[in-house]
Every structure is written in structure tokens, then in C-alpha cells.
Amino acid sequence: MTLDAQHLAEGDRIGAYTVEATIGSGGFATVYLARDTRDCKRVALKVITATTSTELDSPARRLRHEIEILQRLNHPGICRVYELGQEAGILFMAMDYAPGHTLDMEVRRLGKIPEVRLIPIIRDVCNAVAAAHSKQILHRDIKPANIVLDAKDAPTVLDFGHAIGPDISRVTALGSWVGTLQYMAPELIRNQDATIQSEVYSLGAVLYRCVSGAYPFPRCNYSDVVALKLRSGPQPLGKIVPDVLPALAAMVEKAMQTDPAARFATVGELATALHQLVSGEPLEAVPETTLVVRHRAARNGKPGAKPAPDPDPDTEPDTKPKSKAKPKPKSRAPEPPQLAFPHGKYLWYVEAIGKMRKDKGLVIGDLPEADAQERAAAFSIGEGQIDASLESLRSVLEAIVEATVDQGFIGKKIKRVDQVMRSSGGYRRMADLEPILNEVMTDFDQKHYAEANKGLNGALALLGKR
């Protein structure tokens, strides 16, 4: 009998497992409740149900990647995996069956989750994520839908399909977004590498969603969410939930700071703060300057301005009018032709952006905010939000027109290449990179910035970051 991976029925046998029911399905796999015929134990059977033409992100590769990650982890709050198998051409993974429902389902059911119940749940989630971090593994898609609660509210973290770790091949193209936008840290939108601090941000966003019942950023369109994330933090939790515990609101605000350095240093630190809150132990005060910069006292009439120096009584005041530097005229981006169909304008912008990037020698990562806006445009067009998409692409084109490959640009790019080499083990390829980098430094010293930029692009390509 031929089995259909998408529609396995009760009683169907795959490997050593007998299917009992369907638990749920996602973009590339369906999860079934099954029983192991060898010991009668119930398991969750994740079965590949989709194919893709992209070899890097193929469902089979993602499943093998996930099992490789999970086999390195041993924590009660992380789903255990038993085996990877193939039967009748169907690839499957047998793992722990976590009975219950997701945190996302619970928020939708209740509207919001009482703090006294939620804090221990997220504390335990933090401990599970911290256990992964201790193995240098980053989850990269922490959200309520990937947290399952059992009957006693004990959480289990699921879906390590996008996780990364040492000596583990990636399953997503470099430069592509990984994660869910509402829970994604701003630096990831700028195409920076995932870090422990970006996971702290995601956990803060989960807390925000569960305490308030609202998303951290208004659900309008992708472009607006991206712009809000890059510009500021979410609306203060206390304004949405007036009776929220002030200490909890402070934790969420700290976890979701736009600057990664202003967040909790580790997920374990956030777990400790939550534990202190729920256990009644004294909680260390969070310095205000690391929490709410906008609440600093105004000085000199401007928030955050340096105090003016005291006047020297022996010096006459300078009464000469100071000449103002004339601002440089702003470069104008080309305008799309008058086209009957909005999608025609979208294609025109995409081609114009690609051509101008090539002409200037700009690659992904050179203009992080423009890169983020370009991705947002792609999301918006997928949602049918053509006007928002065109507005994002217009901003991208303007940013590229105004970009100048000068000394400051090259200096930042050299630092970026160095960071990539450190984070990806690139120094092991020094024999290949050294002649390129020597030439870059020669061009930089001689102020041949366009040539230096080409060399740095070559180094990034060699490191797999283009």
C-alpha cells in the first residue's frame, strides 16, 4: 500500500510506529501522534510533506539539521529526539510527544495570561534556552507557537529547525531573515548575526505578548513593523496593562531594548530575575539609564544634551555671527515611469535597485536599514500590500543613491569582515584571504576606495557572507 505523507490515517504503519492521530501541520512537515510498536510508548512523528527546489533549505535537510541539534541537547524543557528514519520514500523523525497546547493557543483562548501563572512558565523556558546556549546553540525562532504547555504548565521548547551552533551546517541562505517578525530583534532585521542578546529580545517579546494579549508592534504591514523596530521600542507595557507589576514591566522593557548591549547579558540572567520576582526574593534595581533613555532629565533644553560650560568671567563673549555650513544638496533617486499596473512599478524598483547596487559595488550588509526595508517590501508584496511595498523600495533606492563609498564606509566594512572572520572561523582560511586583504589595505592607504570595496566584497564572498 502506498502511503501519503500528508494524509496518514489511524492505523497506518511507518517504520516501527503506528499512527494514531494528526497533531498539526506546518510549511514543510506534518506531525502525527504515533505509538512505538516496540515498547508501546507514544511519540510525535514529524513527517516531511513538502519539497523545495532550494537545496540549502530543503525539508529533508532541515529535518536532518534539527535532529543533529536536538541530539546535542539534554534538558527536560527541550523536546528529545529518538530517531531519524525513512519508510516507503517518506522521511520522518520520532521525538518526545508533548501533550498539551501551545502558549500561543493559550493567549488566544484567554486574551492574556495572568502574571502569577506566566512568570514561572517563561522562567522555565529561559532555563531551557540557556541550556541550549551552554552548548553554543541558538534557537533563532523563539515565539509562543514554539512553546508547548502540559497539564501542569511545564513548558517544552519545540522546533530547532532554524537553530545554529558550532560545526553545524546552516539550512538557510546567508542574508535571509530567520524567525518571526514580531519576536525578531532589530539587529537581525539589519542583517547582523544572531546572538544570545537577540534571543533575550525574543523572550521579552513573548512576555509582552502573553502579559498584554497584544503584539509588541501594531499589526499593520511588514514595512511599518520594520520601521518601528528600527526606530524605537514597543509601547511601554504599563500603558497597555496599567496594573502590570512594575518590576515585570521593567524586565520586559530591558529585554526589548533596541541596543543589544542594554538588554540582559544572558537568558540565564533574565531567568534569575523572573525567579526572584516569583519567589519573593529581593530583586536588584535595574539602572534607569539602561531601561528608559527617554526618561532622562532634560538639560540645556534638550533631552540628553551635555550641560553648557560655565562662562569664563575674564573672557568677553564672542558676539560675531557664526556662518552656517551649507547643507549638501540631497541626491535624488530616479522616479519610476508612469505605469498602468502597480506591480510594474514594483518590478521597475527591483531592477533599478539591483543595477544601482551593482554600479556602486554595494552588497547585502553594506546598508543594513536599506536591506531591512527591501526585505519588508518583499513581505508586503506577498501580503498584497503594494503601496507599502513601493514606499519601502523608494526608501531603499534613495538610500543607495545617497550612499558614498568613502573612507568611513570602507573603515566600517573592514571591521565587518573582521567580525565575520571571528564569528565564522574565517581565520582558518587566512591563506586564501591574506592576499586579498593585503591588497585592500594598500588600496585603502592610497585612497582607492572603490577598489578596496571590490576586494572586501571578494573577501565576504569567500567567507560566504554575500
- 393 and 346 both lie in a single domain: yes
Share of the chain above pLDDT 70, in %: 74
- pLDDT class for 237, splitting at 50, 70, 90? very high
The rounded mean pLDDT for the chain is: 77
DSSP code per residue over 339-389: -SSHHHHHHHHHHHHHHHHHHHT--TTSSHHHHHHHHHHHHHHHTT-HHHH
Which range, 99-108, 295-304, 414-423, has the best average confidence (pLDDT)?
A: 99-108
Answer yes or no: do 89 and 109 share one domain: no
Which run of H or of E encompasses 444?
helix 430-445
Residue 133: what pLDDT? 92
Among residues 361, 379, 402, the one where a domain terminates is 402
Residue 149 within any structural domain of the chain: yes
Q: 152 with 284, same domain?
A: yes
Residue 18, beta-bridge partner list: 13, 35
Catalytic residue numbers, as ranges = 141
- Grid coordinates of 298: 532634560
Tell me what the mean pLDDT of segment 62-86 comes to.
79
Residue 375 CA neighbour count, 13 Å, CB half: 19
Does the global pTM surpass 0.75? no
Cell of 75: 534538558
Instruction: Supply the pLDDT for residue 197.
Output: 95
Report the C-alpha gap between 79 and 46 in whole angstroms.
Answer: 12
| pLDDT more than 90, % of the chain | 26
Same domain flag for 421 and 398: no
Residue with more model confidence, 170 or 114: 114
Radius of gyration of the chain (CA): 26
Instruction: Look at residue 353 in the predicted model and tell me its pLDDT.
Output: 86
Is residue 73 domain-shared with residue 209, that is, in the same domain? no
Q: Is residue 72 part of a domain?
A: yes
Task: Pick the more confident residue, 390 or 154.
Answer: 154
Please compute the mean of the pLDDT values over residues 311-331 and round it to a whole number.
Answer: 46
pLDDT tier at 53, thresholds 50, 70, 90 = very low
- Domain limits at 451? 407-462
Q: What does the pLDDT average to over 221-244? A: 83
Q: Which of 70, 96, 122 is the last residue of a domain?
A: 96
User: Is residue 337 one of the residues assigned to a domain?
Assistant: no
pLDDT of residue 306 exceeding 50, the answer is: no
Mean pLDDT of 62-85: 79
CA 278 to chain centre: 28
Residues 463 and 417 sit within 8 Å (Cβ to Cβ): yes
The residue ranges of DSSP E strands in 122-172, in sequence order, are 147-149, 155-157
Q: Are residues 55 and 86 in the same domain?
A: yes
Q: Are residues 107 and 221 in the same domain?
A: yes
Over the stretch 131-149, which tens digit does the pLDDT of each residue have?
999 988 899 899 999 999 9
| pLDDT above 60 (res 304) | no
* pLDDT tens-digit readout, 193-206: 889 999 999 999 99
Question: What was the pLDDT predicted at 174?
Answer: 45
The band of 329, judged by pLDDT with boundaries at 50, 70 and 90, is low
Q: Are residues 171 and 81 in the same domain?
A: no
Question: Of 96, 124, 148, which one is at a domain's C-terminal end?
Answer: 96
pLDDT of 287 reads: 36
In a domain, 299, yes or no: no
Residues 78 and 137 grouped into a single domain: no
**Exposed/middle/buried for 448, CB within 10 Å: 0-12, 13-18, 19+?**
middle
- Cα torsion 125, 126, 131, 136 to 10°: value is 120
Give how many domains the chain has, as a whole number: 4
Among the residue ranges 81-90, 218-227, 290-299, 304-313, the one predicted with the least confidence is 290-299
Residue 289 falls within a domain, yes or no?
yes
**pLDDT grade for 297, boundaries at 50, 70 and 90:** very low
Let me know the angle formed at the C-alpha of 244 by 239 and 246, rounded to the nearest 5 degrees.
95
179: left (phi over 0), alpha (psi -120 to 50) or beta: left
Q: Could you give phi then psi for residue 17, rounded to 5 degrees?
A: -120, 140
User: Are residues 159 and 84 located together in one domain of the fold?
Assistant: no
Per the domain annotation, does 303 fall within a domain?
no
Residue 118 shares a structural domain with residue 173: yes
**What's the pLDDT at 36?**
92
Q: Are residues 131 and 225 in the same domain?
A: yes
Instruction: Specify the range with the lowest mean pLDDT, choosing from 43-47, 296-300, 432-436.
Output: 296-300
> Which pLDDT does position 434 carry in this prediction?
79
pLDDT at 274: 92
Asked if the structure places residue 105 within a domain, the reply is: yes
More confident residue, 254 or 315: 254
CB 112 within 8 A of CB 104: no
Higher pLDDT, 222 or 75: 75
- For residue 439, being part of any structural domain is answered with yes
pLDDT tens figures, 258-280: 999 999 999 999 999 998 887 76
